[in-house]
Amino acid sequence: MKVTALLRQLVFSSVLCCTTNQARLTVSPSSSQFFEYDSVSLSCEEDDSSAGWTLRRNTSKQQMTQCGVQWGRYTGSSCEIRFIDPLDSGVYWCESREGPISNMVNLTVTGKLVILQSPVLPVMEGDDVTLLCETKTTPSNLPAAFYKDGSLIRKQPTGHMTIQHVSKSDEGLYKCDISGHGESPSSWITVTGQPSTTTSPTTSALATSEDQSQVSNPLQLALTLTRHLLVFCPYFISTILMVSLYREKPKDKEPLQNKRDDVTTEHNF
């Protein structure tokens, strides 16, 4: 029905208007571990703009403090931390005035000589992930051993390891070790499922909702249709009355004309 299609469009528009844009926290360089005195830039990215979002963090010393207050400084739309310190290790996220928050990122800063460069954001199932065991004072192509959840995975002669076509089973806590230099801190790697591209969730939900309402609650549809008809009824009734009046006017003139003809005929006699 046309009314049903109109209702679907109205509901779909309201859903789009009321949806809150979700920000995404990004880190540059893209890593979850950093050497002491490195520089890090964090940004709250959104589809429309980054306005209205505040970067916050929890560390062992500070709770829910924002960029520009005792740590970091804003450079354009990004928060830059120069000469990062182990005390800057903690959880970072973006928060809006309305309350929604972004993904959370756990950053680790170490004063040791070895770090593990691993994805700071969740990785998709099926993607390839490269881990790099890096030293602070020597080239990063030294032989390294890689561990997951405390167990040795493999030893690589070039200091980097690629996990091909990652799956949920690859999710876990990773670290690396370079002989003679030490081991890195541990970082958690999160693996997420591939998003569905067959049907839009919003459209599917609306279609399902419409089908259920037509089957399980026809009275609601009837009431909605009645409300629409009540809006158009005054215009419909006024149109009918105008047409009726227009059609009755010739009938009123015809008897009057006949009376005039009768008076003229009597006068002649």
Query: Given this model, what pLDDT does residue 209 score?
Result: 44
Kindly state the tokens that stand for 192: 């997420």
Count up the domains in the chain and report the number.
1
Residue 52: inside a domain, yes or no?
Answer: yes
CATH code where residue 98 lies: 2.60.40.10
Residue 85: inside a domain, yes or no?
Answer: yes
User: pLDDT > 70: what percent of the chain?
Assistant: 62
- Report whether the peptide linkage leading into residue 29 is cis, meaning its omega lies within 30 degrees of zero: yes
Residue 107: inside a domain, yes or no?
Answer: yes
Summarised one tens digit per residue, pLDDT across range 75-109 is: 888 999 999 999 999 999 998 877 778 889 999 99
Burial of 243 (C-beta count, 10 Å sphere; 0-12/13-18/19+): exposed
pLDDT at 247 over 70: no
Confidence of residue 202 (pLDDT cuts 50, 70, 90): very low
Query: Given this model, what pLDDT does residue 72 score?
Result: 94
Query: Given this model, what pLDDT does residue 13 score?
Result: 36
The overall average pLDDT reported for the chain is 75
Summarised one tens digit per residue, pLDDT across range 203-243 is: 444 444 444 444 345 545 555 555 545 444 454 455 555 54
Residue 75: inside a domain, yes or no?
Answer: yes
pLDDT at 20 over 50: no
